[in-house]
Structure 1
Amino acid sequence: MFLDMTQQRNPKLIEASLELHQQGAISPNTYVLDLNAVKSNATLLAREAKKQDIELLFMTKQFGRNPLVAKAIVEAGIEKAVAVDPWEALTLHKNGIKIGHVGHLVQLPKRMIPKILNIEPDFITVFSYENAKNVSDAAKQAGRIQKIFLRIANNGDFIYNGQEGGFTLDQLQEEVKKLEELDGIVIAGLTSFPCILIQEGTPAVTQNVKSMQLAKELLQQRGHQHLQMNMPSATSVSTMQLLKENGATQGEPGHALTGTTPLHAIQHLEERPAMTYVSEVSHLYQDRAYVFGGGFYPRSHMQNAFVGKNINHLKKVPIIVNDPSNIDYYGTLNTRDVKIGDTAIFAFRTQIFVTHAQIAIVKNLSTTPELLGIYDATGNLVN
């Protein structure tokens, strides 16, 4: 999906990926991440956010909750992270990263709430009154008041399968008084997902945003002021003005940090591609070649790979996307015209934290390339 754009805009990353594998410094099933490019992308995002008066909370699941990368993003000016689940929040906190938001997309298990409160997140999202009460009870026990976001998921809103949950407007109308009576929490804002989708190469707000705006009006009528409007999905330099125009006070860049939102595949945006996936040709069978897997992603939209042993003789070959119902023991190249042991380089949209891949962090690709470390998919140092 991003192979051509990476070749055009960050060719040194492809070169480094090939050399690291051919030298044996990295194994197949390794993502290679350009730390300088990520930091530069984060700087651009922070600058635009300041211009639009939007607070950014960075997402780390796409690059495997990696502590080196997270710290570089903080240094670039995005001070706090959003954790997709409580385990990510704890991992980031352990590595010194401040947590701005947790509980969205994944709610907090009841018995984990006290542990999460101990790391002092700015905001916790709840999907229901019962979740809010659990947070309130734990917050009272800890002697604090926790700011919460209400996730809005009205009838007709766009919600991905496996991510269902939240308040409809009717439910909010019915339950807002009960929420206000919980004295361990305060309603600080609203959120939903996705708030932007890329449609035919153009970013557009979803119906979810309109639902958030109606929910905000309902809460304001009851005296709730200065509400945050947290609008994640496809946050990038090119979409922040659209977010601002629709009332956003917060965005949550993830793929923009690695230059891999859907827009980055078709447009030269300010953020550069910063990540490749490296494998190796394992064997040939009939009219196809197979590479080691473990890090492929069902929604990657891959089309091609670069294959070879020499940067001047890489072949661009078509791939066959894996059936998502099967384990990705291998990836498939739609050719036999390669050799066992060749490096295969991919660039696609991924979520490293749900793979069992490794991630190699590199820097200074334009001068003296350096491998800083190899980590697992959840941010632990391997080598």
Structure 2
Amino acid sequence: MFLETTERRNPNLIKAAIKLHRDGAILPDTYVLDLDQIVENAKILKKKADETGIELFYMTKQIGRNPLISKKISEIGIKNAVVVDFKEAIIMMENNLPIGNVGHLVQVPKALLEKVIGYGPKYMTVFSTEMLEEINNVAKKLRKKQKVLLKVIEPTDEVYEGQFGGFHLADLEAVSKFSKDLKNIEIVGITSFPCFLFDGKNALKPTTNIQTIERAKVILNENDINISELNIPSATCSKTIPLIKQIGGTQGEPGHALTGTTPLHAEMDLEELPSMVYLSEVSHNLDGKAYFYGGGYYRRGHLENLLVIDEKNNYVKDTIESFGNESIDYYLTAKNSHSVGSTVIAAFRTQIFVTRSDIAVVSGISSANPKLEGIYNSLGNLIRR
């Protein structure tokens, strides 16, 4: 999906990955991340957000909740993370990284509420009155007042399986009345997901979820709940930040833009450069096909093209055979045979946190002097420096 773009716009990343593999510094089934370019991409996003008045929370699930990269992003001015689930919140808290939004897409479990609220997230996203009450009780105990975003959802909205939850518009008047007695929370905003989707051509289009957010704001304002924040996530990048502003949004959540891998980046050259590749190795051949080590397959990733480099430094293009969702990716299959031990490079849309891959964070790539900063697992834990 992104291999040709990476070859053209960040060839040193591919060269660095090959060298690290040949030197034995990284093993197959490793995502190699260009730390310096990710930081540059973050600077581009921060500049665009400052120009438009949009607050950004960076997302790390797609890069394996990596704390080293998170620290660098925070240092350039996108200070707060959005954590997609409570396990990601734990990683951020363990590494003393500020949290901007927790609870969306996954609610914080009851046993973790005191630790999370005590840590001090800027906002918590809430799906139910039960959670509003739980947060209020814990905040009261801690003598805090917690700002809250309500997730809204209608049957006409576009929602992925496994992500259902939120308040229907018809519930909001009752929610407003219910919240009046909760003195340790403050409902300040609304969110939904996804708010933009790729049209399959060359643009990201607002979803019907935006209309639900707009209607929810009116209802809540009419019930004396002052809504100042509209959190408009999905595919936040240099191209869509102005669109967030145009539709009245105040917050965006860049994730794939940090690595130059939103769907738009596959179709056009945006300001953010590609900064992530997947590295593997040919294990064996059978019946004219090469089998390379898996572990990083993501079923929505559109993995198709491969670059295979043998020990004589011959570069060969190949494609992957389709892989069914019913199987485990112990190996993935190239359509042609290749020398055993050859390096395999791919670049595709992924969510590292749902894989079993390693993550190699590398600096100095742009100067052709790569330095391996650390190897992490897919959940953000350091394996070795």
The TM-score range, normalised by the shorter chain, is over 0.9
Note the alpha carbon deviations across 1:163-211, whole angstroms, 9 max, x for none.
0111110122333211232222110100100001111221111110110
Q: Does 1:96 align with 2:96?
A: yes
Note the alpha carbon deviations across 1:76-106, whole angstroms, 9 max, x for none.
2211100011111121122121001000000
SS in structure 1 opposite 2:194? Answer: coil
Specify the alignment match of 1:361 in structure 2: 361
Report the Cα distance in structure 1 between the residues aligned to 2:181 and 2:315, rounded to whole angstroms. Answer: 64
Report the Cα distance in structure 2 between the residues aligned to 1:228 and 1:139, rounded to whole angstroms. Answer: 21
Specify the alignment match of 1:106 in structure 2: 106
Specify the alignment match of 1:80 in structure 2: 80
Output aligned runs, 1:153-302, within 5 Å. 153-200=153-200, 201-302=202-303
Asked if the contact 2:282–2:340 (Cα under 8 Å) also holds between the matched residues in 1, the reply is yes
TM-superposed deviation, 1:303: 1.2
Asked if the contact 1:289–1:334 (Cα under 8 Å) also holds between the matched residues in 2, the reply is yes
Output aligned runs, 1:28-177, within 5 Å. 28-177=28-177
Specify the alignment match of 1:4 in structure 2: 4
Report the Cα distance in structure 1 between the residues aligned to 2:11 and 2:304, rounded to whole angstroms. Answer: 18
Report the Cα distance in structure 1 between the residues aligned to 2:161 and 2:135, rounded to whole angstroms. Answer: 26
Give the % identical residues: 46
Asked if the contact 1:290–1:332 (Cα under 8 Å) also holds between the matched residues in 2, the reply is yes
TM-superposed deviation, 1:289: 1.3
Closer, same or farther in 2 for the Cα pair 1:311/1:123, shift >3 Å? farther
Specify the alignment match of 1:20 in structure 2: 20
Moved more, 349-358 or 174-183: 174-183
Specify the alignment match of 2:344 in structure 1: 344
Q: Does 1:316 align with 2:281?
A: no
TM-superposed deviation, 1:310: 5.6
Report the Cα distance in structure 2 between the residues aligned to 1:173 and 1:341, rounded to whole angstroms. Answer: 63
Report the Cα distance in structure 1 between the residues aligned to 2:81 and 2:151, rounded to whole angstroms. Answer: 18
Asked if the contact 2:193–2:232 (Cα under 8 Å) also holds between the matched residues in 1, the reply is yes
Report the Cα distance in structure 1 between the residues aligned to 2:63 and 2:326, rounded to whole angstroms. Answer: 23
Report the Cα distance in structure 2 between the residues aligned to 1:10 and 1:322, rounded to whole angstroms. Answer: 28
Note the alpha carbon deviations across 1:339-362, whole angstroms, 9 max, x for none.
111110010111111111110011
Note the alpha carbon deviations across 1:241-273, whole angstroms, 9 max, x for none.
111111110000000000000000110000000
Asked if the contact 1:180–1:186 (Cα under 8 Å) also holds between the matched residues in 2, the reply is no
SS in structure 2 opposite 1:366? Answer: coil
Report the Cα distance in structure 1 between the residues aligned to 2:67 and 2:362, rounded to whole angstroms. Answer: 13
Asked if the contact 2:150–2:167 (Cα under 8 Å) also holds between the matched residues in 1, the reply is yes
Specify the alignment match of 2:374 in structure 1: 373
Specify the alignment match of 1:382 in structure 2: 383
- The list of structure 1 runs, each at least 4 consecutive aligned residues, that deviate by more than 3 angstroms after superposition, is none
Moved more, 280-289 or 339-348: 280-289
SS in structure 2 opposite 1:39? Answer: helix
TM-superposed deviation, 1:71: 1.2
SS in structure 1 opposite 2:360? Answer: strand
TM-superposed deviation, 1:238: 0.5
Asked if the contact 1:59–1:253 (Cα under 8 Å) also holds between the matched residues in 2, the reply is yes
Report the Cα distance in structure 2 between the residues aligned to 1:268 and 1:307, rounded to whole angstroms. Answer: 25
Output aligned runs, 1:317-332, within 5 Å. 317-332=318-333
TM-superposed deviation, 1:226: 4.7
Report the Cα distance in structure 1 between the residues aligned to 2:179 and 2:216, rounded to whole angstroms. Answer: 14
SS in structure 1 opposite 2:215? Answer: helix
Q: Which amino acid aligns with 2:10?
A: N
Asked if the contact 2:192–2:233 (Cα under 8 Å) also holds between the matched residues in 1, the reply is yes
TM-superposed deviation, 1:149: 0.6
RMSD over aligned Cα atoms: 1.2
Asked if the contact 2:190–2:230 (Cα under 8 Å) also holds between the matched residues in 1, the reply is yes
Note the alpha carbon deviations across 1:217-254, whole angstroms, 9 max, x for none.
11111222252000110000011111111111000000
Asked if the contact 1:18–1:309 (Cα under 8 Å) also holds between the matched residues in 2, the reply is no
TM-superposed deviation, 1:279: 0.4
TM-superposed deviation, 1:131: 1.4
Asked if the contact 2:176–2:223 (Cα under 8 Å) also holds between the matched residues in 1, the reply is no
Report the Cα distance in structure 1 between the residues aligned to 2:295 and 2:365, rounded to whole angstroms. Answer: 26
SS in structure 2 opposite 1:320? Answer: coil
Structure 1 length-normalised TM: 0.97
TM-superposed deviation, 1:153: 0.7
TM-superposed deviation, 1:311: 8.7
TM-superposed deviation, 1:312: 5.2
SS in structure 1 opposite 2:382? Answer: coil
Structure 2 length-normalised TM: 0.97
Closer, same or farther in 2 for the Cα pair 1:311/1:130, shift >3 Å? farther
Report the Cα distance in structure 2 between the residues aligned to 1:339 and 1:325, rounded to whole angstroms. Answer: 29
Report the Cα distance in structure 2 between the residues aligned to 1:311 and 1:354, rounded to whole angstroms. Answer: 34
Report the Cα distance in structure 2 between the residues aligned to 1:381 and 1:155, rounded to whole angstroms. Answer: 42
